[in-house]
Amino acid sequence: MADHEYRINVYTDILRKDAANTYQEIAKLGANKKWMELIDILQGNEGMVNSSQLPDRNGQQTSLFTPLHYAADGKAPKEIFEKLLKLGSSKCLKTSAGETAYDIGKRKGLDQDILELIKVPKHVKQNEQQIQAMEAGLHNVIKGRVEDLIKKNGQALPQISILFENNGDHGSFYYPVPGMYGGFNVHVVDKGIQADSWIRVCGGSEENHLIEKDGKVTLLPNDNPL
């Protein structure tokens, strides 16, 4: 069982209207610096603290700003950062421009005590090259199975640094793909990460992939997962 569901970013019309509206409202509150309203809506929508504005098919793109990115960009009070982190904000997630909340905060000149709060954990920074290699391998696995759906959904591929953020080496998440009738359970193993995927309506569709720390991908026997 995965620790949590990865908060996917897809076209607005892929999700139920009420769910898509929640994504957009969270992003709007962050962009407009409505900090207490932002905290209130996040407290009422468990798991949405790492959500970001959805793109649409009319050309509106997504910055992949999470509430923590908005707080850094908008120079929110320290208490807002503390509340966001308590709710589960990831310090490791990057925007579409490749910036963490810390990167944005440093560029914006946030106070050092806030920067210390949102700094990417040392063990993540030290293993950045391995994480990037494994992430590329996972993306290849996902595209190898459902690339057409990823394109159809306008779906952002997952960032795996969050696997290592809180537990060092024991994280996991479930990455759903709308239209797949299934998805990918991704978890850390001794050799790297493992992605277990399936399509519920297709018997025998299960696949287990090992992605090693250098990015090497191996399809494992279904009867002998790690």
pLDDT band with cut points at 50, 70 and 90 for residue 185: very high
- Taking the whole predicted model, whether its pTM rises above 0.95 is answered as no
Mean pLDDT confidence for 134-162? 97
Q: Given 104, 120, 136, which residue is the final one in a domain?
A: 120
The answer to whether residue 1 scores a pLDDT higher than 50 is: no
Cα distances (Å, whole numbers) of residue 23 to 18, 20, 62, 206: 9, 5, 12, 31
6 belongs to a structural domain = no
Summarize pLDDT for 74-110 with one digit per residue, the tens. 999 999 999 999 999 999 999 999 999 999 999 999 9
Summarize pLDDT for 55-76 with one digit per residue, the tens. 999 877 889 999 999 999 999 9
Contacts of 125 (CB under 8 A, 6+ apart): none
Q: Given 97, 120, 143, which residue is the final one in a domain?
A: 120
- CA-to-CA distance for 213 and 79, rounded, in angstroms? 37
pLDDT band with cut points at 50, 70 and 90 for residue 224: very low
Contacts of 59 (CB under 8 A, 6+ apart): none
pLDDT band with cut points at 50, 70 and 90 for residue 168: low
Count CB-CB contacts under 10 A for residue 208.
19
Q: Quick one: 82 and 138 in the same domain?
A: no
Q: What is the domain extent for residue 171?
A: 128-220
CATH of the domain at 82: 1.25.40.20
Q: Quick one: 50 and 94 in the same domain?
A: yes
Q: Quick one: 42 and 108 in the same domain?
A: yes
1 belongs to a structural domain = no
Q: Quick one: 60 and 148 in the same domain?
A: no
50 belongs to a structural domain = yes
Summarize pLDDT for 196-214 with one digit per residue, the tens. 999 877 766 899 999 999 9
Phi, psi of 210 (to 5 degrees): -95, 125
The total of structural domains in the chain comes to: 2
Q: Quick one: 134 and 110 in the same domain?
A: no
pLDDT band with cut points at 50, 70 and 90 for residue 18: very high
Beta strand residue intervals within the chain, DSSP E: 172-176, 182-189, 192-199, 207-212, 217-220
Q: Residue 170: what pLDDT?
A: 62
Q: Residue 146: what pLDDT?
A: 96
Summarize pLDDT for 21-37 with one digit per residue, the tens. 999 999 999 999 999 99
Could you tell me the two tokens for 196? 């277990």
Q: Quick one: 196 and 132 in the same domain?
A: yes
For residue 108, give the H/E element and its range: helix 101-108
Could you tell me the two tokens for 42? 């996040």
